[in-house]
Amino acid sequence: MTLSVAICTRNRHEDLRICLSSIFRQRDMEGSPVEIMIVDDGDTEESWLDEIRRELPSGMELVYYRKKRDEAGLLRSRIFAVKNARYETLLFLDDDVELDEGYLAGLLRTFQQYPDVVAVGGVDQKFSCSLKGRLLMLASGRSRLAPGKLSYSGFASAMNLWNRQKKVFRTEFLHGCNMCFKKASLRDVQLVDWLNGYSLGEDLYLSYLAGLHGPMIVNPELKLLHHGSPASRDKEEIVAYTKVINHYELLKLRTRVTPFRYAMLLWTIGFLYMETVLQRRKEASSGYRRGIRDLKGVQARRGSLGV
- pLDDT per residue as tens, the chain (307 positions): 999 999 999 989 999 999 999 999 999 998 899 999 999 998 899 999 999 999 999 999 999 999 988 888 999 999 999 999 999 999 999 999 999 999 999 999 999 999 999 999 999 999 888 889 899 999 999 999 999 999 999 999 999 999 999 999 999 999 999 999 999 999 999 999 999 877 899 999 999 999 999 999 999 999 999 998 776 567 899 999 999 999 999 999 988 788 899 999 999 999 999 999 999 999 999 999 999 999 988 776 665 444 4
Non-local CB neighbours of 79 within 8 Å, separated by 6+ positions: 189, 190, 191
- Tell whether 307 is covered by a domain: no
The total of structural domains in the chain comes to 2
Distance, CA of 99 to CA of 227 (rounded, Å): 11
Give the pLDDT of residue 302. 64
Non-local CB neighbours of 297 within 8 Å, separated by 6+ positions: none
List beta partners, residue 37: 6, 63
Q: Are 129 and 160 in contact (CB under 8 A)?
A: yes
- Tell whether 212 is covered by a domain: yes
Last residue of a domain, one of 204, 226, 248: 226
Q: Are 33 and 65 in contact (CB under 8 A)?
A: no
Identify whether residues 206 and 257 lie together within a single domain.
no
The range of the structural domain enclosing residue 272 comes to: 236-302
Last residue of a domain, one of 226, 260, 275: 226
| Phi and psi angles of residue 257, each rounded to the nearest 5 degrees, phi first | -80, 85
Give the pLDDT of residue 257. 84
Distance, CA of 254 to CA of 177 (rounded, Å): 21
Identify whether residues 215 and 177 lie together within a single domain.
yes
Last residue of a domain, one of 226, 260, 278: 226
Identify whether residues 168 and 201 lie together within a single domain.
yes
Distance, CA of 77 to CA of 270 (rounded, Å): 32
- Tell whether 231 is covered by a domain: no
Model confidence, pTM: 0.94
CA 7 to centroid of chain Cα atoms: 12
Give the pLDDT of residue 305. 46
Alpha helices in the chain (DSSP H): 13-24, 46-54, 74-84, 103-113, 131-139, 202-211, 236-254, 259-278, 282-304
CATH of the domain at 71: 3.90.550.10
